């Protein structure tokens, strides 16, 4: 079972009913908008390196790369960044498997766009920044997330957001993607006060 500190695990059983907030088409539109915002802000994809945070962030980064490839009429690739050993909760949670780091390009002097599914406390992104620092020195780091649910514990904000989704701390955000969950894409909220 995969669990997550930001409450986006789709594998965790939950007795609370789910309230869907995004369907597959809405997720697609959000990713298309994020793609165009990244391209506009960076004057194209020439100096951009897309890096997803496992698990669902990697798939979202690949989808954004595919959309960029269509707009730019040239291949754009996305990589993955293993943050396991950089997490600040390693001693608090059971051992977890190492992920795979695969960066498609040298990050030195480039604009790295980190991609994740849900932004919550900011601790996952802090770990990603630490891991990225061991790979090189980007000119800038930007953050793209499908969902920003608030409740930051660190001074981190996303540059590109698919949907701002204010939530209660007792709620969990469930992101499901066809690549990992073998179901239709969706975002739902579970839990909270009835």
CATH 3.40.50.2020 fits 18-88+97-191, yes or no: yes
Q: Is the pLDDT of residue 2 over 50?
A: no
Indicate the SS3 state at residue 180: helix
The CA–CA distances, whole Å, from 48 to 4, 42, 53, 104, 106 equal 28, 7, 16, 11, 10
Compute, in degrees rounded to 10, the torsion defined by CA atoms 143, 147, 153, 156: 20
Report yes or no: 60 and 115 within 8 Å, Cβ to Cβ: yes
pLDDT, tens only, 75-114: 999 999 999 999 887 666 665 566 778 998 899 999 999 9
What are the boundaries of each domain within the chain? 18-88+97-191
pTM exceeds 0.85, yes or no: yes
Nearest to 113 by CA among 149, 78, 152, 148: 78
Question: Where are any strands of DSSP class E within 3-152?
Answer: 18-22, 48-52, 78-80, 111-119, 140-148
Q: How confident is the model at residue 63 (pLDDT cuts 50, 70, 90)?
A: very high
């Amino acid at each position: 079972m995969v669990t997550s500190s930001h409450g986006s695990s789709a594998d965790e059983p939950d007795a609370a009913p789910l309230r869907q907030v995004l369907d597959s088409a809405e997720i697609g539109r959000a990713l298309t908008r994020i793609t165009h915002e990244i391209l506009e802000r960076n004057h194209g994809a020439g100096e951009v390196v897309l890096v997803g945070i496992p698990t669902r962030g990697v798939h979202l980064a690949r989808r954004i790369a595919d959309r960029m490839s269509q707009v730019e009429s040239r291949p754009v690739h996305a990589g993955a960044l293993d943050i396991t050993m950089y997490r600040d909760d390693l001693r608090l949670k059971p051992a977890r498997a190492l992920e795979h780091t695969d960066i498609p390009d040298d990050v030195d002097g480039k604009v790295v766009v980190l991609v994740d599914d849900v932004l919550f406390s900011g601790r996952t992104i802090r770990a990603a920044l630490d891991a990225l620092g061991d790979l090189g020195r980007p000119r800038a780091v930007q953050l793209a997330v499908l969902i920003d649910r608030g409740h930051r514990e660190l001074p981190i904000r996303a540059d590109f957001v698919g949907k701002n989704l204010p939530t209660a701390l007792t709620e969990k955000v469930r992101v499901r993607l066809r690549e990992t969950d073998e179901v239709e894409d969706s975002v739902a909220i579970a839990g909270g006060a009835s």
